[in-house]
Chains A and B, each alone.
Chain A
Amino acid sequence: MSGTGGLSVTARGLSKNFGPQKVIDDLELHVPAGQFLAIVGRSGCGKSTLLRLLCGLETPSGGAFWIGDGGLPSASGGVVRMMFQEPRLLPWVSVAGNVQVGLGGSRADRNDETRVMNALDAVGLRDRDRAWPGVLSGGQKQRVALARALVSRPRILALDEPLGALDALTRIEMQELIEEVWLDQGFTGLLVTHDVTEALMLADRVVLIEHGAIAFDLEVRLPRPRRHGAAEIGALEDELLGRLLRHRAGGCAGGDGGFVHRVTGERAGGARSGSAIRHGPP
C-alpha cells in the first residue's frame, strides 16, 4: 500500500527511438517530490512518450526513469498512476467497479469498498456508483477515470492531456478538481498538455519539450488558487508562446499537428527542417 505524499521523479540520459526516429533524445529531468509539473510542446515532440515511459507502457532505448530518492525503477506497482486523454472505462463494469480497477486486486473487501466510495466522493460522483459508464457525460467519465487513478493513493500521477476532449467549462471545473486533489494528497503531478493556459493554471513549473529534449524550463511562482485571465498568467503565457513561436521562426518546428492555443487561436505548421536549432542543453 502506498503512503501519502509525492515521490521525486528523475530521468537520466533517457532516450526512446521508434525505428530510425528519435522521439526522446538523451533527456535529463528532475521533478522534486510533490511538485506539479506541466509538459508542453508541439504534437509529436515526444511529451506523451515521456509519460508512457514513466508508466512502463514503453521501454526506454537508453537511460532510465528513477523514482524517489532511493532510486526505485519506474513502473513499480501502484506508485505511478496514469490518466489518459480518453477515460478508458470498462463499459461492462459499473462506475464503482471501474474505480475498483485502480486498486489492482481482483477481489474487493469492505475496506476497498470504502476507498472506492471515498474516491468517488472526491470527484463528486458518489451517487452514480452503480451507473454504467455509458450513461455518463464526457466530463463525468473523466472524473471516474480520475477517481480510478487516485483510489490507490499514488505517489505520482501522470496526466496525458486528460482534459483535451472536454468542453471549455467542464475543462475549467476539472482543472479546479485536479488542483484540489493535488493540494489534498500531495502527489507529484506530471501533466502533458497542449494548452499553455492550462499548464500555467495548474503547474509549479512548466517545461517545453522540443526534439525529444527539454528546450525551456519555467518556474511558475504564482499564488493559488489562480484566476483565469489574471495579468501575471497572461505575461507568462506570452513568454511561453513567444518561446514556442521563436522555435518555429527558427525553422525547427516538429511534427505536423501544430500547437493550438485557445486565446490567440494560433496554429503553427511547418515541416521538420534539416538544420534544427537546439535551445537549451545539448
Chain B
Amino acid sequence: MNTLVSARAAARDRLIPAPSSTPRFRLGGRSTKAISFAVPAALLVLWQAASSAGILSDDILPSPAAVVAALKRLTLSGEFATNVEVSFLRAITGLAVGGGIGVAFGLANGMSKLSEALSDSTIQMVRTIPHLALIPLVILWFGIDEKAKLFLVALGTFFPIYANTVHGIRSVDPQLIEMGRSYGMSSVTMFRRVILPGALPSIFVGLRYALGIMWLTLIVAETIAAQSGIGYMAMQAREFMQTDVVVLSILIYAALGKLADSVARWLEASFLAWNPAYRRGGAG
C-alpha cells in the first residue's frame, strides 16, 4: 500500500524513468564489443591448449604458436610480403576492371532502354555460366600468367556489381526524378544529384558481394595455376608437408577478406552518411 502511494507520488513528480527506446536487456556498446572479441580469443586459447596437450597433432593442425613462427620465418625470408603483395594486386586490379565495367554497363542499362535491349539478355545468359568453370579454357588462352587471374577475378566481380547497379537505378524514387524535372535540372545534373546518389546504396551492396567473389576466385585460381601469390605459397607448402604455412595462408586470406570488408564498410559510412542505416555512431 505504502509502496503504491510512493510510486504514485513518484510518477506525479516524474521520478520514474520513462521507458527508454532501447530495451533493458540490450547490453551497452562497449560490453557487446568485448563479448564479440572474447569468443574468438577463447577459441584461440582452446586451440593452443589442445595442441600443447598433444590432443591435436601438428600434422593435422599446427598450434597457433607454430603458425606465428611460420609467419615470422616467411616474413624474414621476404616470401610473405612478396606473395601477399602479388595476391593483393591481382585482387584489386581484377575488381577495378570487373567492377568498372559492371558499373558502366549497369548505369547504361539502368537508364537506357536501347542499351538494355542490346546487352542485358546477353549478360544474363553469360551470368549462368559459373565463372570458375572457365579455368581450363582460361589456362588455354592465357597460360598461367597474370592475365588468367585478372580475367577470372574481373569476370566474377562484374556480375554482382552490374546487377546491383541496374537495380539501384531502377529503384530511384520516381517522385524525386519528377521533382528534378519540374525544377529544370539538366540530364547531367539529374544524374549527378538524383540518380547516382539514389543508386549508390545498391551499388555498395553489389561491391560487398563482389569482394567475397573476388577472394574466392583468387584462391581457386592461385591454387590451380600460379607461380606466386598466397595460393601458390599454400600449394608449395603442401608439397613439403608444411601444415603451418598452409594454415597461415588460409588465415591471410581471411584477414585480407576482413580488411576488404572493413574498407567497404568505411566507404559506405562516408558516402551514405545521409542514410540513417549507414550512419556511424548512431543518430546525429
Using a CB–CB cutoff of 8 Å, the interface residues on chain A facing chain B are 55-57, 77-78, 81-82, 84, 86, 88, 90-93, 101-102, 104, 106, 132-135, 148
Q: In the docked arrangement, what's the CA distance between A86 and B194, Å?
A: 16
CB distance from A7 to the nearest CB of B (A): 17
Known contacts A91-B274, A93-B193, A134-B276; is A101 also within 8 Å of B183 by CB? yes
Which one, A90, A104, A106, contacts B197 given CB within 8 A? A90
Task: Kindly list chain A residues whose C-beta atoms are within 8 Å of the C-beta of B283.
Answer: 135
CB distance from A41 to the nearest CB of B (A): 22
Q: In the docked arrangement, what's the CA distance between A153 and B167, Å?
A: 37
Q: How many residues of B contact A (CB 8 A)?
A: 26
Q: In the docked arrangement, what's the CA distance between A60 and B175, Å?
A: 20
Known contacts A88-B175, A90-B176, A106-B189; is A82 also within 8 Å of B275 by CB? no
Tell whether, in the assembled complex, residue A57 and residue B181 are in contact, meaning their CB atoms are under 8 Å apart.
yes
Task: Kindly list chain B residues whose C-beta atoms are within 8 Å of the C-beta of A101.
Answer: 179-180, 183, 185, 193
- The answer to whether the Cβ of B186 comes within 8 Å of any Cβ in the partner chain is yes
Q: In the docked arrangement, what's the CA distance between A148 and B276, Å?
A: 23
Main secondary structure of the interface of B (DSSP, over half): helix
- The answer to whether the Cβ of B146 comes within 8 Å of any Cβ in the partner chain is no
Q: In the docked arrangement, what's the CA distance between A251 and B18, Å?
A: 54
CB distance from B193 to the nearest CB of A (A): 6
Interface centre among A57, A78, A84, A101 (most CB of B within 10 A): A101
How many A-B Cβ pairs are below 8 Å? 56
Q: In the docked arrangement, what's the CA distance between A55 and B180, Å?
A: 12
Tell whether, in the assembled complex, residue B274 and residue A88 are in contact, meaning their CB atoms are under 8 Å apart.
no
Q: In the docked arrangement, what's the CA distance between A93 and B181, Å?
A: 17
Tell whether, in the assembled complex, residue B178 and residue A134 are in contact, meaning their CB atoms are under 8 Å apart.
no
Using a CB–CB cutoff of 8 Å, the interface residues on chain B facing chain A are 175-176, 178-186, 188-189, 192-194, 197-198, 200, 272-276, 283-284
Which one, B179, B188, B276, B284, contacts A88 given CB within 8 A? B179
Q: In the docked arrangement, what's the CA distance between A92 and B276, Å?
A: 11
Task: Kindly list chain A residues whose C-beta atoms are within 8 Å of the C-beta of B275.
Answer: 91-92, 134
Tell whether, in the assembled complex, residue B182 and residue A55 are in contact, meaning their CB atoms are under 8 Å apart.
yes
Tell whether, in the assembled complex, residue B182 and residue A57 are in contact, meaning their CB atoms are under 8 Å apart.
yes
Tell whether, in the assembled complex, residue B175 and residue A84 are in contact, meaning their CB atoms are under 8 Å apart.
yes
Known contacts A84-B175, A134-B275; is A90 also within 8 Å of B181 by CB? no
Known contacts A57-B181, A84-B175, A88-B176; is A135 also within 8 Å of B284 by CB? yes
Interface centre among A78, A134, A148 (most CB of B within 10 A): A134
Q: In the docked arrangement, what's the CA distance between A84 and B182, Å?
A: 10
Residue of A nearest to B196 (CB): A92
Task: Kindly list chain A residues whose C-beta atoms are within 8 Å of the C-beta of B182.
Answer: 55-57, 81-82
